[in-house]
Structure 1
Amino acid sequence: MPRFSSLKAVLLLLLAAPAAHAQLTNSGTDKFAQLETLLPTANSYRTASGAPGPSYWQQRADYTIAVTLDDAKQAISGRETITYTNLSPDTLPYLWVQLDQNILDKNSITTATQVAALDTRVAFQAVDNMVQRDFDGGFKIEAVTAADGKALAHVINHTMMRVDLPRPLGPKQSVSLKINWRYNINDQLKINERSGYEYFPQDKNYLYEIAQFYPRMAVYSDFQGWQNKQFLGNGEFALPFGDYRVSITAPADHVVGATGTLQNPAQVLSSAQQARLRQAVGAKKPVLIVSPDEALKSEGGHPTGTKTWTFAAKNVRDFAWCSSRKFIWDAMGIQQDGKPVMCMSYYPKEGNPLWGKYSTEVVAHTIRTYSKFTIPYQYPVAISVHGPVGGMEYPMLCFNGGRPEADGTYSADRKYGMISVIIHEVGHNFFPMIVNSDERQWTWMDEGLNTFCQYLTEQEWERNYPSRRGEPKDIVAYMRTDKSLQTPIMTNSESVLQFGNNAYGKPATALNILRETVMGRELFDYAFKTYATRWAYKHPTPADFFRTMEDASAVDLDWFWRGWFYGTDRCDLSIDAVKYYNVSTKDPSVENTRLQKLREAQPQTVSQQRNAQDIKQTVVDEKPDLKDFYNSYDPLAVTDADRARYTAYTKTLTPAQQQRLRDNTNFYELSLHNVGGLVMPVILQLTYADGSQEIQNIPVELWRKNNELVTKVVTTSKPVVSFVLDPYLQTADTDLNNNAYPRQPVASRFELFQQSLPTQPNPMQLQTIQSSTQKAEDKPLNK
């Protein structure tokens, strides 16, 4: 038996004592207070259930764009016609257009508000970031006109442009405006933004990943009007849905990929490439549309002339594209909900062997898995493009990093990092490209939900896949940091501290805990799919997500949103003490024997041990006539009178009460302490004296009357030797040292390291080196 505090008590006294409830008073803010005061009032646009209301509306913006890539100057020029349809009940005197390229203007708010600190040692890259960039970035707006060609008054305010309409745009009315523009493309290795070019000096070629390349309509919504918050860098994009037709003029030997479907393959592809593209529709593995040999030949050609590639996309919120003569292109068709989806990859030879082996297969796997957990993928293509960008997402197309070494080898980290970034960016087709949340305001609504789905998809790709985010144990280090270094998840994107942990890791982990520990997979999966279904191709808010998850599951989660999303408390639950009770059988033959054994097992005190040696004879030993009845009386000896009293007592009990006395049930009173402030379910592991174990899952409502301290009585038929909280690391508990009773040491290690380590070969390179060495040793010497 463990050294629990042991008391002997009668069951009725134990459970009925009024003192047991004396401590159940709230301390501080009630963690279970409902969120009604924080969430917006429900209305006919957005209901209290979290679903779109009967009066829900959203605006529409359709685009016709013609853009030209200047490969000699690394510049873009374009013209567009935007047809904007006002489906709101409001009359609009002006429109707001986003000019996101202006973040690269020398006088941008982002440049002016960069913070930095100097030290005695500063890295070159840090200095480069502080010094004024020698790059002429940003949109050059050449004309803004109405459909009839008349100039429209407009005002540019950094990354936003207000276009004043000749007459206000009423409900259910449309207006067309034309914009001509140009801008210089940034070198992504020098100015690491979401798009740009990469230059390959060995073959003097460029690879372009192009996005935010055209003036885009801002969102006008029922819950905030115009979303015209300036683009500062972190808060990404809020965009309306519409249809696109985009013509891209590029060098004649370039291969171009883009959002949507290619409209003129006969004009831009060879007959062989067209045949391969048709073959790929029903292929079981990726088919090369542009082969490595064809790409290598194009790398050395550089002919004059251009080709124009035309793409069309329906009901998307954005458009992006890529172009290079270096591109290898492969594709494989899958069926999703009865509809064909072409999964494709574009990559230079520098991406092989990783990209040819994995990219398109990962795209297909991602589409299938996300469709299972959210809604069926509805778009006709899904594309992964390899370039210098770590990862960036657009409808049907994304840019991904992850390049092997020049010799074609790679580390496990590089392989899994590449697979993970492809899953993540392709997954963004669902959040926010389809479930179209406001990234400018709430990064977590797309990044957090997407990172959670990424975790599910990684685990279905390979058993025990090394996911970086999703498991509760992986967020502990962040949750343990000082609160001054954290912000709640419900913080505007531009004000978030520790962006990756806050907007990606913490919400993804929270959803995993909801699924595995709080709600269970069945309830969670149904509610999550309900949210995706309700808000597909619409503009959800956090309240819509919170309300839907509760509405579809009948689980009160206000405590969870309050703790995980609106606060910075951490999970740290402790077992402070355990008291052991059992019920007295009242049978003197049983109880007195037990007490006799306890008495015999009691060790002598130090004084008793020394007195036995130092006191040779006591007075009573010397004079036996001083002894009386009590010198031989044993209060634990069982007499006939004791047995008779017990027999008489049992006759007053019912058979059930008599059985209760014989059961010898063990009662353990656990003192539980919420040290970290975040209320969470109590996952309790009991280890019995016979070595067997049991898990008890105690709902979070245990803390509802006292958010800090509670006592919980656990009854068992077998004696318990230890209690452990969260044995499978389900709750992101930040201190495991207080999780066990009796206390158990928590294993930990520290690592010795040098400040600067030389670059080590990856395992594939080491194997090659060892093989070469072995061959040299086995080769016979020439005589």
Structure 2
Amino acid sequence: MRKFIAGLAMAGLVAGPLAALAQDTKFAQLGQELPTPNTYRTASGAPGHQYWQQRADYTIKVELDDTNQSITGSETINYTNNSPDVLSYVWVQLDQNIFEPNSMSNLTRTAELQKDIPLRAVEYMTREKFDGGFKISKVTDRSGKPLHYTINNTMMRVDLPSPLKPNQSFSFNIDWKHNINNQKTLGGRSGYEYFPEDDNYLYEMAQWFPRMAVYDDVNGWQHKQFLGSGEFALPFGDYKVSITVPADHVVAGTGELQNASQVLTSTQQKRWAQAAKSDKPVVIVTQEEATKAEKDKATNKKTWVYQADNVRDFAWASSRKFIWDAMNVNVGGKNVLAMSYYPKEANPLWGQYSTEAVGHTLKTYSKHTIDYPYPVAISVHGPVGGMEYPMLSFNGYRPEADGTYSDRTKYGLISVIIHEVGHNFFPMIINSDERQWTWMDEGLNTFMQYLSEQEWERNYPSRRGEPQDIVEYMKSAPNTMVPIMTNSESVLQFGNNAYGKPATALNILRETVMGRELFDYAFKEYANRWAFKHPMPADFFRTMEDASGVDLDWFWRGWFYTTDHTDIAIDDVKWYTIDSQDPAFVNAQVREQQNKAPKTLSQQRNLKDIPKTLVEMKPQLKDFYNSYDPLATTAADEQSYKQFMSQLTPEQKETLNSGLNFYEVGFKNQGGLVMPLIVRMQYEDGSEEVVNIPAEIWRYNNEEITKVFITEKPVVNFELDPYLQTADTDLSNNYFPRRMAPSRFEIFQQQKDNKNPMQRERATSSRNTTSGGR
């Protein structure tokens, strides 16, 4: 209903702090939640002037047993203590021990039995029968003298012969071996795949050697047990790794190949040199060469030597099935070799897309963070669906046996390569603690993956990043959710919590809360500050605020520390116009409203059922009021109006005659998460306007507020979040007047066609050819 604002007393209608409820914690600063700044980590989010981190350098020799699917290795670790602390022991990660029959991971795994269980699921449940885990044969100092060590599940403490003081180094040796898991049946982040058609294996090796744990200023030793979800916290160092394999195997490894002349043919070396200058993929090992190796199976061995500087880990892959292609990518004026290794079963999909996706990722990530600093970036296809290491990643997806593939497979391949290669930046370079905070690498990387996908192809079908894609998760039952700020091993709905929600939060920050210019600058500043260092959540939160000048504590609190969701409703709308005090104008408006007002049901029926009222039958009952018109303008009314107008200033007269519309709109926060209000108003003439209101509008009352909108044209409807920017979980209450929110349902055919579109097209073309094209 339209209402009138009397005279010029409009300001009193606008609700202010005095009318608000008491402030609660949603806009409280993150004080106790964040650690106290110090000389190692500053209040701005930058490393302090006394920041330090440890270093671990490795020399490793390993040999692959292609007959028994195992490796045997020896390593020398040179550990440097850059901390101000004296260390009496060091901790080493034994991640392969997750496959030990009595590992904590095996013993604490929960499962449910059903009537029908896939064979692969049964194999996975019986993984404790696999003789996995490290077999440590000796731990010695540089001179070969045994060191005392204690193995605690996936961690090993090595006691030092004398305390390791600040700025001192200590070298020690470890010899070990372990069986390689069948990744297709036992899962894991590495393993082998067996190809029965040609009786060959493809190996993807990760977490394959004892690795130093991180010792830092926040946690001391990060030696939380590896249970399967929380990945790895690792120090930086230089690696020299010698990998002995069957002579016909092709080996991909972290870093640069040091002995190409000993492991590649002269023709392959020429192709490799050509690839280093080409902006298109050049095949170094061809499919024909790989197929020949599959059949011949060499019995002698070769050793591939790789060198990697300033990396936090080392991974490799080996198979005689590998096709190998590469191309040059210019990143910030530096040449980087983008490469892919894959079996023939991956073609034609991998040959067309893999290396191009690697190069695209390096360019887009470098634009938003730091220039990619390493000399190579590799994508390997094998049994691991997606896993990341410095300069090298394992990626899934392959076409059907006939070479066709669905669009889901195509985009799945491109997305997983972007994601896993992108992990070079988070956390391989911006080296966060994955064991504790999965979101700091997976969430930030998924956000960057979304940006890269959108630069790959217009309207790329990204799975995560857009606010509407996280809505179903945000509506989950409270007992199935935990805050993002939860230890990695305790996260529920892992993919949504650690990947999707933080990625969506960053996209909302960029597009809706901060704007692209402020966000991009701050995000890039974070990457530059913490490249090759160990950032913590507080360092990210503080840097984003410090570099942008935007107070985001309310955002971190809501999105990262709670399980609240966005559900803001338009509760009510009241329409006011100014009472101009002109009796003729005001009375005419009131008369128009009365004439347009619908008759009640009783009034309509009385017109028929009561032919004449008593007064109509007896005119003598009429008096003054039967002919009185309260809306008729009198001389007294006109005189009063003239006197009122004579007291106004020109500006007040202009306001009085402006014809402005005042809308008091009520909003309710039903989901608990405070967010900006994006309000679209559609006017009577068909035009529209969008108003963006910062989230701080909720600072005095987190549950319900009113806002006055002043417009020159009448508004016919209001809509909240018209561009789906805030992950609002209920769109039905975002409209005034109310309207039905769109929904979808799918119609399933009783007989599902399992062919992908390429196969159906081929079948159709074949039928047309057979029938003469008719």
Specify the TM-score bucket, using the shorter chain as the normaliser: over 0.9
Query: How far is 1:601 from its partner?
Result: 1.4
Q: 1:617 to 1:360 in 2, by over 3 A?
A: closer
- Equivalent residues of 2:278, 2:328 under 8 A apart: yes
Deviation at 1:178, TM superposition (A): 0.4
Aligned to 2:2: 6
**Distance across 2 between alignment mates of 1:439 and 1:613:** 80
Deviation at 1:779, TM superposition (A): 7.5
Residue aligning to 1:774: 768
1:215 is matched with 210
SS at match of 2:544: helix
Moved more, 87-96 or 280-289: 280-289
- Aligned partner of 2:333 in structure 1 is 338
**Which residue identity is paired with 2:703?**
E
What is the CA-CA distance between 1:641 and the residue it aligns to? Answer: 2.9
The runs of 5 or more residues in structure 2 that have no matched partner are: none
Aligned twin of 1:289: 284
Number of the residue aligned with 2:20: 24
Residues 559-603 of structure 1, C-alpha deviations (whole Å, 9 max, x = no match): 000000000000000001101111111111211111111111123
Work out whether 1:72 is the aligned partner of 2:64. no
Q: Indicate conservation of the 8 Å contact 2:8/2:578, yes or no.
A: no
Equivalent residue letter for 2:317: C
Alignment of 1:610-621 (within 5 A): 610-621=605-616
> Matches of 2:366 and 2:127 in 1, distance apart?
45
Structure 1 residue aligned with 2:317, among 319, 322, 332?
Answer: 322
**Contact residue 30 and residue 707 of structure 1 kept, 8 A:** no
Query: Any idea what SS the aligned residue of 1:552 has?
Result: helix
- Give the CA deviation at 1:402: 0.7
1:20 Cα shift?
6.4
Q: Which residue identity does 1:16 align to in structure 2?
A: G
- Within the candidate set 266, 270, 287, 2:265 is matched to 270
1: CA distance, partners of 2:692 / 2:155: 52
Map Cα deviations across residues 290-337 of structure 1 (whole Å, 9 max, x no partner): 111111111111121111110101000000001111111000011212
* C-alpha distance in structure 2 between counterparts of 1:603 and 1:490, whole Å: 57
**What residue in structure 1 maps to residue 710 of structure 2?**
715
- Secondary structure of 1:190's counterpart equals helix
Cα drift, residue 626 of structure 1: 3.6
Q: What are the residue-to-residue correspondences of 1:682-701 with 2, within 5 Å?
A: 682-701=677-696
TM-score computed with the length of structure 1 as normaliser: 0.97
> Which whole-Å CA distance do the structure 1 matches of 2:7 and 2:141 have between them?
85
Given the superposition, is the C-alpha separation of residues 779 and 551 from structure 1 closer, same or farther in structure 2, using an over 3 Å criterion?
Answer: closer
Change (3 A) 1:21 1:229: closer
Q: Residue 563 in 1 paired to residue 558 in 2?
A: yes
CA distance in 2, matches of 1:615, 1:535: 86
In structure 2, distance between residues paired with 1:772 and 1:232: 52
Q: Are residues 1:156 and 2:151 paired?
A: yes
Equivalent position SS for 1:189: helix
Determine the structure 2 residue equivalent to 1:416. Answer: 411
- 1:108 maps to which residue? 103
Deviations 1:111-149 (A, max 9, x none): 000011234444434333333533111100011000001
| Equivalent of residue 593 in structure 1, options 588, 591, 594 | 588
1:513 partner amino acid:
I
Relative to structure 1, the CA distance from residue 406 to residue 17 in structure 2 (aligned partners, 3 Å threshold; closer, same or farther) is closer
Counterparts of 1:222 and 1:638 in 2: how far apart (Å)? 83
Distance of 2:522 and 2:620 partners within structure 1 = 86
The residue number in structure 2 matching 1:95 is 90
Q: Which moved more, 1:633-642 or 1:90-99?
A: 633-642
Are the aligned partners of 1:451 and 1:505 in contact in 2 as well (CA < 8 Å)?
Answer: yes
Name 1:761's counterpart in structure 2: 755
2:525 aligned residue (530, 539, 548): 530
Asked whether the 8 Å contact 2:275–2:327 carries over to 1, the reply is yes
Q: Please list the CA deviations of residues 133-187 of structure 1 after superposition, one character each: whole Å capped at 9, or x if unmatched.
A: 3311110001100000100000011110000010010000000000110011111
Q: For the Cα contact (< 8 Å) 1:589–1:638, is it kept in 2? A: yes
Secondary structure of residue in 2 paired with 1:378: coil
- Whole-angstrom CA distance in 2 between matches of 1:383 and 1:630: 94
Q: 3-state SS of the aligned residue for 2:184?
A: coil
- Structure-2 change in CA distance of 1:771 and 1:132 (3 Å): closer
After superposition, the C-alpha distances for 1:374-433 in whole angstroms (9 at most, x for unaligned) are: 000000000000011110000000000010000000000000000000000000000000
CA distance in 2, matches of 1:353, 1:655: 78
- For the residue of structure 1 that corresponds to 2:73, the secondary structure is strand
Match of 2:440 in 1: 445
Amino acid at match of 1:456: L
TM-score under structure 2 length normalisation: 0.98
Aligned residues: 774
Match status 1:228 vs 2:223: yes
* Cα shift at 1:9: 1.7
What letter is aligned with 2:366?
Answer: S
Q: In the aligned structure 2, how far is the partner of 1:446 from the partner of 1:65?
A: 27
1:383 to 358, 378, 382: 378
Q: Determine the C-alpha separation between the residues in 2 that align with 1:728 and 1:779.
A: 47
* Alignment partner of 1:608 is 2:591: no
Contact 1:46/1:56 (<8 A) preserved: yes
- Alpha-carbon offset, residue 202 of structure 1: 0.8
The AA in structure 2 aligned to 1:133 is E
Aligned ranges 1:466-505 → 2 under 5 Å: 466-505=461-500
1:650 to 640, 645, 651: 645
CA drift of 1:753 comes to 4.0
Greater Cα shift, 495-504 or 607-616: 607-616
Which residue matches 1:425?
420
Distance 1:359 1:598, change over 3 A: same
Instruction: Report the equivalent of 2:142.
Output: 147
Aligned to 2:11: 15
User: What corresponds to 1:745 in structure 2?
Assistant: 740
Distance 1:257 1:617, change over 3 A: closer
Q: Partner of 2:186 in structure 1?
A: 191
The answer to whether the 8 Å contact 1:26/1:707 transfers is: no
Q: C-alpha separation between the residues in 1 aligned to 2:248 and 2:227?
A: 36
Matched residue of 1:663: which SS? coil
Matches of 1:441 and 1:574, distance apart in 2 = 36
Per-residue CA distance 1:719-753 (angstroms, 9 max, x = gap): 00000000010000000010000001012132344
1:630-669 residue pairs with structure 2 within 5 A? 630-669=625-664
- The answer to whether residue 514 in structure 2 is matched with residue 519 in structure 1 is yes
